[in-house]
């Protein structure tokens, strides 16, 4: 029997109000939480006043392995997640082989079992190889452990294919998780408003496919989840669909809340994402949608690339950003410290809301009897975003040099320390 006692921590009571808390962990589970004096033996971890929260949950992470190990591996990707305070992450199917059969899914699952330091829930693709119109065997993949179904990086282009996928997923009580993108409208677009004379990514590329899918979601009753929404029109569509009883949930990525197209200083591929950074009007709509409940959660869309792939112009550079190691600190510094969010809201959007939306078990909460999946954040000490501190292979972020608060001090999964910075 092993026992760990976290002392001198603080937890959120409501809004930004904190109270002292001591957490006692035994054999990987929380067995007591109180503000009293230690009266039992065990390993004592002094939190020095750090905030204790349920481990963060990310429903949109790219781990790249198998197939693209130069960008990331399950070892480095899950260590990066732990560094960011995440204890459960959902891995997108942008892999080789694509997890489109139970055999291909098992390749990924075997590596997760061997190498992951946090809990990883793998997606399966919606169609064969993520790029065809041929549906996977959803029932076989669900039985084999697929978390949900997504063609991440590719929108499902044919209405009938999406209808069939939603119909099958409904029977299986699994979500269809959509990267909404109409290829016919892409036209090589890489940036909003055609800034710097670059090809324009038009907002209807996203929202027209969302409109189609919401109609199908109402028809089939599926849980339809929209990845990284980025336009005002999409927010409006989701708000209306929820009011009409459609089972739709949506996520927003930190970078879309923090940066707009006006903030891009030059033609630099570090600012190239898919969907692209929004206009200021879109960004304001995203914030409003998050605050009023239209948008359910924050998900990172962590997408590591090699340095070569993110060098140079928007025209040639890969889409994607790494942010999982700083997501909490970025949002805490820019929104909680400025009074736009409360800590309670941030905890909900990054931890409890994704668990509720996807019915994820044993995650996103701190109750007696729960697995000790938790994180300690230091809200007082300032730190700078520096690639030398990254545990991900990817350093493709425009946030380098940002001064932040909310540094991760310790992350536990099932009572085991998976990341620790000495307090």
CB within 8 A of 48, min separation 6: which ones?
Answer: 8, 378, 423
What is d(CA 78, CA 91) in angstroms, rounded to the nearest whole number? 10
DSSP structure string for 280-340:
HHHHHHHHHHHHTTSS-EE---B----TGGGSS-TTTSPS-B--TTTHHHHHIIIIITTTS
Q: What share of the chain is helix, strand, coil (3-state, %, to 5)?
A: 35, 25, 45
Block residue for tokens 């990054």:
350
Are the C-beta atoms of residues 146 and 99 closer than 8 Å to each other? Answer: yes
Q: How far is CA 32 from the centre of its chain?
A: 29
- Please tell me the number of Cα atoms within 13 Å of 359 on its side-chain side: 6
Tokens representing residue 50 in the block: 């750090």
**E-strand spans in 92-229?**
119-122, 149-150, 175-178, 223-226
Would residue 100 show up in a list of annotated catalytic residues for this protein? no
- Does residue 138 sit in helix, strand or coil? helix
CB within 8 A of 300, min separation 6: which ones?
Answer: 58, 60, 61, 84, 253, 254, 323, 324, 327
- Catalytic, out of 100, 301, 373, 378: 301
Which residues participate in catalysis according to the annotation?
301
């Amino acid at each position: 029997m092993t026992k760990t006692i976290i002392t001198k921590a603080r937890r959120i009571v409501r809004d930004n109000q904190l109270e002292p808390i001591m957490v006692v962990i035994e054999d990987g589970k929380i067995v007591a939480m109180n503000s009293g004096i230690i009266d039992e033996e065990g390993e004592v971890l002094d939190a020095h006043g750090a905030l204790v929260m349920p481990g963060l949950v990310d429903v949109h992470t790219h781990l790249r392995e198998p197939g693209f190990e130069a960008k990331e591996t399950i070892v480095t990707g899950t260590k990066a997640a732990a560094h960011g305070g995440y204890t459960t992450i959902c891995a997108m199917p942008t892999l080789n082989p694509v997890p489109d059969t139970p055999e291909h899914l098992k390749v990924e699952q075997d590596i997760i079992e061997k190498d992951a330091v946090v809990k990883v829930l793998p997606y399966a693709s919606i169609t064969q190889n993520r790029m065809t119109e041929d549906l996977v065997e959803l029932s076989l993949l669900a039985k084999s452990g697929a978390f949900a179904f997504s063609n991440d990086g590719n929108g499902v282009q044919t209405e009938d294919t999406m209808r069939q996928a939603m119909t099958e997923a409904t029977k299986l009580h699994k979500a269809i998780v959509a990267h909404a993108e109409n290829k016919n409208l892409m036209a090589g677009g890489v940036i909003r408003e055609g800034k710097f004379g670059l090809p324009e990514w038009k907002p209807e590329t996203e929202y027209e496919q969302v409109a189609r899918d919401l109609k199908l979601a109402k028809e089939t009753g599926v849980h339809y989840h929209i990845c990284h929404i980025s336009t005002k029109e999409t927010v409006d569509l989701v708000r209306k669909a929820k009011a009409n009883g459609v089972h739709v949930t949506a996520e927003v990525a930190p970078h879309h809340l923090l940066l707009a197209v006006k903030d891009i200083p030059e033609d630099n591929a570090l600012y190239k994402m898919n969907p692209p950074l929004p206009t200021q009007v879109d960004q304001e709509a995203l914030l409003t949608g998050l605050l009023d409940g239209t948008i359910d959660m924050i998900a990172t869309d962590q997408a590591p690339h090699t340095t070569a792939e993110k060098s140079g112009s928007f025209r040639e550079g890969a889409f994607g950003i790494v942010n999982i190691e700083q997501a909490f600190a970025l949002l805490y510094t820019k929104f909680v410290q400025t009074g736009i969010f409360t800590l309670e809201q941030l905890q909900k959007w990054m931890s409890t809301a994704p668990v509720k939306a996807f019915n994820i078990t044993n995650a996103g909460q701190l109750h007696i009897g729960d697995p000790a999946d938790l994180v300690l954040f230091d809200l007082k000490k300032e730190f700078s975003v520096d690639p030398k501190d990254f545990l991900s292979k990817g350093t493709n972020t425009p946030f380098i040099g940002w001064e932040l608060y909310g540094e991760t001090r310790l992350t536990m999964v099932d009572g085991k320390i998976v990341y620790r910075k000495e307090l």
